[in-house]
Amino acid sequence: MAYEKELQVAQLAVARAAILTKAVFHEKAKGTVSKDDKSPVTIGDFGAQALIIAAIKHNFPSDEVVGEEEASSLREQKDLSSTIWNLVKDVKLDDPESDALLGGPIRSEAEMLDIIDMGNSAGGNKGRIWALDPIDGTKGFLRGGQYAVCLALIVDGDVKVGVLGCPNLPIDDREPLTEDMGAAASDAEGKGVLFSAVLGQGATSQPLTRRGASTDSTGVRPIHVSKISDVSEAVMCESVEPGHSSKGDNALIAEKLGITRKPVQMDSQAKYGSVARGAGDLYLRLPVRKDYIEKIWDHAAGDLIVREAGGQVTDVAGNRLNFGLGRTLTENKGVIAAPANVHAQVLKAVQEVLNSK
Ligand X SMILES: Nc1ncnc2c1ncn2[C@@H]1O[C@H](COP(=O)(O)O)[C@@H](O)[C@H]1OP(=O)(O)O
State the residues that interact with ligand X by CB under 6 A: 136-137, 239, 241, 243-244, 267-268, 288-289, 292, 298
Minimum CB separation of residue 100 from ligand X in Å reads: 32
The C-alpha atoms of residue 122 and residue 119 are separated, in whole angstroms, by 9
Give the span between the Cα atoms of 275 and 96, in whole angstroms: 34
Of the candidates 80, 66, 122, the one whose C-alpha atom is nearest the C-alpha of residue 298 is: 66
Taking contact as CB under 5 A, which single stretch among the options 26-34, 209-217, 237-245, 296-304 is the one that binds Mg ion? 296-304
Radius of gyration of the chain (CA): 19
Is position 298 an interface residue for Mg ion (rule: CB under 5 A)? Answer: yes
Minimum CB distance to ligand X smaller for 328 or for 341: 328
Q: With respect to ligand X, which residue has the nearer C-beta, 30 or 289?
A: 289
Residue 295: Cβ within 10 Å count:
17
Residue 354 CB coordination number (10 Å): 18
Pairing of β 128-136 and β 191-198: unpaired
Nearer to ligand X, 78 or 292 (CB): 292
- Catalytic residue numbers, as ranges: 45, 138
Near Mg ion by CB under 5 A: residue from 69, 117, 136, 308:
136
CB of 249 closer than 8 Å to CB of 236: no
111 labelled binding-site residue:
no
Instruction: Give which of Mg ion, ligand X, none residue 292 binds (C-beta under 5 to 8 Å, depending on kind).
Output: ligand X
Position 133 contacts Mg ion (CB under 5 A) = yes
Q: Which residue is nearest to ligand X (CB)?
A: 239
> Is residue 135 a known part of a binding site?
yes
Burial class (CB in 10 A: 0-12, 13-18, 19+), 160: buried
Partner whose footprint covers residue 311, from ligand X, Mg ion, none (CB < 5 to 8 Å by kind): none
Binding site residues for Mg(2+), as ranges? 68, 133, 135-136, 298
